[in-house]
């Protein structure tokens, strides 16, 4: 029997009992749609996590200051981390190749004819090792800029574009919080304008001005003595040493402060926890899809058994003219496989629509891949073949005389 003959026989079998066939196809389609949705959401979560790790830096640890609690309502008295904490971390964590303290404030930047409210980040030349910011033009901060307290600034791409529309910022000056700064660098525009440029920070780098740490003279709170910092970004030698670096930082902070003055954020652990939460949702969808496939497989079995009973005369004639039991078995197995494939193809389209609906409602990312399409379709065909084994065996057991007599 050729593939064309098999397809014709399958169509004829489906038309024999359209209601049962339709229910079987719907079951297969629902199962495949649920599995396809789970795979797409899982793949989207994986890609989103990879992108987030890239932005946060898998080799980074972030130490972020927490407000002082006075026993009653929490009262923000400024950052509790100090430059001394940063130096102690540098000494205690030999696997930390960069330790960059940050002071962050808001200010108005002005040129001769423009003004823009932006975020001012005071930091050191080491911060770029943690955030991996690419330069569009110019240079990053240098150690000599801090040592000599030079008034230089690296502008985010968005800030440079708004402050110098149509002009070249490099070599020009911008007034920030009353002081004039020479523009020495412009950050590169990020590829995805809607994405956060760096999860290390609570601000948009593209609308920021990065200056040497000593130049941030604005007080950050009532308890700010000038040596306080809001954040310390620590870059480990490699991803395998992140845990050791985080442990060293925790020991330093406990020894120096004796209380919780900062939270230690390990981006890799955050992403792993997020993926675990997503996988629970994916597992539920896969389980639903598996149950739907089993139910649809039973429906396929019923359709095929009804087809065997209806086509007894045909089976007898085929056996009488020389068809072997194996030929009859393969015919019915092929038909059940085609039935699963047709339902699976419909389920792929349904899964795509369901994925779009779910992601629009929940706001999660989703991504389709050829591999997932192949897996979902293979499961549908496997369900058809698995539940077609028994009807095929029943059909193959008929002898020519018994089939013709019962037919």
Report the 3 state secondary structure along 310-364: HCHHHHHHHHHCCCCHHHHHHHHHHHHHHHHHHHHHHHHHHHHHHHHHHHHHHCC
pLDDT band at 360 (very low <50, low <70, confident <90, very high): confident
Q: Which of 234, 260, 286 is the last residue of a domain?
A: 260
Cα(247)–Cα(242) distance, rounded to whole angstroms? Answer: 9
What pLDDT does 73 receive? 44
Residue-averaged pLDDT of the chain = 79
User: Do 18 and 157 share a domain, yes or no?
Assistant: no
User: Do 73 and 38 share a domain, yes or no?
Assistant: no
Residue 284 has pLDDT above 60, yes or no: yes
Residue 265 falls inside a structural domain: no
User: Do 11 and 37 share a domain, yes or no?
Assistant: yes
Q: Which of 260, 293, 310 is the last residue of a domain?
A: 260
User: Do 136 and 241 share a domain, yes or no?
Assistant: yes
Residue 61 falls inside a structural domain: no
Q: pLDDT higher for 362 or 128?
A: 128
User: Do 48 and 76 share a domain, yes or no?
Assistant: no
What pLDDT does 226 receive? 61
User: Do 168 and 98 share a domain, yes or no?
Assistant: yes
Q: Which of 236, 260, 284 is the last residue of a domain?
A: 260
Percent of the chain at pLDDT > 90 equals 19
67 token code pair: 């407000």
> CA-CA distances (angstroms) from residue 104 to 10, 46, 152, 222, 378?
70, 32, 16, 15, 54
Residue 87 has phi, psi (to 5 degrees) of -70, -35
Residue 267 falls inside a structural domain: no
Residue 402 falls inside a structural domain: yes
Q: Which of 111-120, 324-333, 339-348, 368-377 has the highest mean pLDDT?
A: 111-120
Residue 24 has pLDDT above 90, yes or no: no
pLDDT band at 136 (very low <50, low <70, confident <90, very high): very high
Cα(67)–Cα(79) distance, rounded to whole angstroms? Answer: 7
User: Do 169 and 85 share a domain, yes or no?
Assistant: yes
Residue 238 has pLDDT above 70, yes or no: yes
User: Do 248 and 284 share a domain, yes or no?
Assistant: no
Please count the other Cβ atoms lying within 10 Å of the Cβ belonging to residue 16.
14
Number of domains in the chain: 2
User: Do 251 and 303 share a domain, yes or no?
Assistant: no
What pLDDT does 75 receive? 44
Residue 62 falls inside a structural domain: no
pLDDT band at 275 (very low <50, low <70, confident <90, very high): low
User: Do 100 and 215 share a domain, yes or no?
Assistant: yes
Residue 396 falls inside a structural domain: yes
- Across the range 11-37, mean pLDDT stands at 75
Residue 125: give the domain boundaries. Answer: 67-260
What pLDDT does 193 receive? 41
Residue 401 falls inside a structural domain: yes
User: Do 32 and 107 share a domain, yes or no?
Assistant: no
User: Do 92 and 207 share a domain, yes or no?
Assistant: yes
């Amino acid at each position: 029997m050729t593939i064309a003959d098999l397809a014709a026989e399958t169509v004829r079998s489906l038309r024999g009992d359209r209601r049962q066939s339709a229910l079987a196809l719907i079951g297969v389609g629902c199962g495949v749609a649920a599995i396809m949705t789970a795979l797409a959401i899982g793949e989207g979560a994986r890609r989103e996590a990879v992108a987030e790790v890239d932005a946060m830096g898998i080799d980074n640890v972030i130490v972020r200051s927490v407000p002082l609690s006075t026993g009653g309502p929490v009262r923000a008295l400024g950052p509790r981390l100090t430059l001394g904490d940063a130096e102690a971390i540098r000494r205690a964590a030999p696997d930390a190749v960069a330790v960059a303290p940050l002071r962050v404030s808001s200010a108005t930047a002005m040129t001769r004819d423009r003004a823009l409210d932006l975020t001012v980040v005071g930091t050191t030349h080491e911060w770029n090792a943690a955030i991996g910011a690419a330069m569009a033009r110019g240079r990053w901060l240098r150690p000599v800029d801090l040592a000599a307290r030079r008034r230089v600034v690296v502008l985010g791409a968005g800030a440079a574009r708004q402050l110098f529309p149509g002009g070249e910022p490099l070599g020009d000056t911008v007034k920030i919080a009353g002081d004039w700064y020479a523009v020495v660098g412009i950050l590169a525009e990020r590829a995805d304008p809607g994405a956060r440029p760096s999860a290390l920070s609570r601000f948009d780098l593209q609308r920021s001005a990065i200056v040497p740490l000593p130049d941030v003279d604005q007080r950050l709170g009532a308890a700010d003595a000038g040596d306080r910092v809001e954040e310390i970004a620590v870059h480990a030698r490699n991803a395998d040493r992140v845990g050791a670096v985080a442990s060293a930082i925790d020991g330093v902070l406990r020894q120096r402060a004796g209380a919780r003055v900062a939270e230690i954020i390990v981006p890799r652990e955050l992403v792993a926890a997020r993926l675990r939460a997503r996988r629970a949702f994916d597992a539920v969808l896969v389980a639903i899809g598996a149950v739907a496939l089993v139910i649809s497989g039973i429906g396929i079995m019923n359709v095929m058994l009804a087809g065997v009973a209806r086509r007894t005369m045909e089976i007898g004639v085929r056996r009488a003219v020389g068809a072997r039991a194996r030929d009859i078995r393969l015919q019915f197995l092929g038909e059940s496989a085609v039935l699963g494939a047709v339902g699976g193809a419909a389920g792929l389209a349904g899964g795509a629509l369901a994925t779009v609906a779910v992601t629009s409602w929940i706001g999660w990312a989703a991504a389709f891949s050829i591999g997932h399409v192949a897996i979902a379709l293979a499961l549908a065909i496997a369900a058809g073949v698995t539940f077609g084994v028994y009807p095929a065996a029943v059909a193959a057991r008929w002898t020519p005389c018994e089939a013709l007599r019962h037919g």
